[in-house]
Copies of this chain bind each other. A is one copy, B any other.
Amino acid sequence: MCQLLGMSCNVPTDIVFSFEGFRRRGGLTDEHADGWGIAFFEEHGCRMFLDYQASATSPVADLVRNYPIKSRNVIAHIRKATQGVTSLANTHPFQRELWGRYWIFAHNGNLTALPPLTGSRFLPVGSTDSEHAFCWLLNHLADEFPTMPALAVLHRRLVELTRELAALGTFNFLLSDGRALFAHCSTNLHYVVRQAPFSTAHLSDADVQIDFATVTTPQDQVAIIATQPLTDNEYWRPMTSGELLMFVDGHPRPLLPANAHAS
């Protein structure tokens, strides 16, 4: 299995503090040492850093720690291989373009008997169930929506599509197009929303703490989503099995019924 880390914010924010705890689970405080990756949206652009070395010791992870990239939507993943060899092609997150936007996806879990993709527009490059599932989702969205739908419409459709795949195994995932960050829980996903009044947080995986009041403004809102809580003195809400949250600007948004969108 693997671990996921996501961030959604209303202002560009660096993820250095959370990443410092998270990366240690890749070979130091936990066993997820078969590669890692992180994707940062910066406006419409997106940059990813991938490595098949363990995140605890990867020189690329050192760069990410030392070079605070500010982003409003981030997805990171540390891998313990279940399907597919350890290689760059099998390293999450995965990226595709749809509707003139980049889409980023990372998965924690294991899916079997996935529907075939023959003749599909999006095809996996590597051999993981995760990239296969990502392509399946995007193929459906591309077929159904010639242009980008409203986020509320996308949210509802993703809930339905995800239900189909989640029936095939464990399907915790993070998905983002740089506007919204979708988080689906099968078994393990937690989140915390940080907002004023900010306080001090302490990492679970290292004796490191930060006083967010000193690095934020009162308007800042930041949601951190992770497989397991990253700090030991904040309340992380456990997501429930089957829940798919859409985070925008640092907050989960309610799933609107179809008639709410039509009004």
Indicate if A193 sits at the interface (CB-CB under 8 A): no
A218 sits at the interface (CB 8 A): no
User: Which secondary structure characterizes the binding site on chain A?
Assistant: mixed
B119 touches A97 (CB 8 A): no
Counting contact residues on chain A (CB < 8 A from B), the size range is: 35 or more
Task: Indicate with 1 or 0, residue by residue over A32-49, a CB within 8 angstroms of chain B CB atoms.
Answer: 000000000011111111
A100 touches B123 (CB 8 A): yes
Q: In the bound complex, how far is the Cα of B58 from the Cα of A81, in angstroms?
A: 33
Which residue of chain B is the closest to A40 with respect to CB atoms?
A: B88
Known contacts A46-B88, A60-B67, A88-B43: does B96 contact A119 (CB below 8 Å)? no
Find out whether the CB atom of A48 lies under 8 angstroms from the CB atom of B45. Answer: no
A98 CB to closest chain B CB (Å) equals: 8
* A158 and B210 alpha carbons, distance in the complex (Å): 54
Pairwise interchain contact B66-A59, C-beta atoms closer than 8 A: yes
Q: 21 interchain pairs (CB within 8 A)?
A: A42-B87, A42-B88, A42-B89, A43-B87, A43-B88, A44-B126, A45-B87, A45-B88, A45-B90, A45-B125, A47-B51, A47-B88, A59-B63, A59-B66, A60-B67, A95-B95, A97-B122, A97-B123, A100-B124, A100-B125, A119-B146
**Further 6 A-B residue pairs, CB within 8 A, beyond A45-B125, A97-B122:** A44-B126, A47-B48, A47-B49, A59-B66, A59-B67, A96-B97
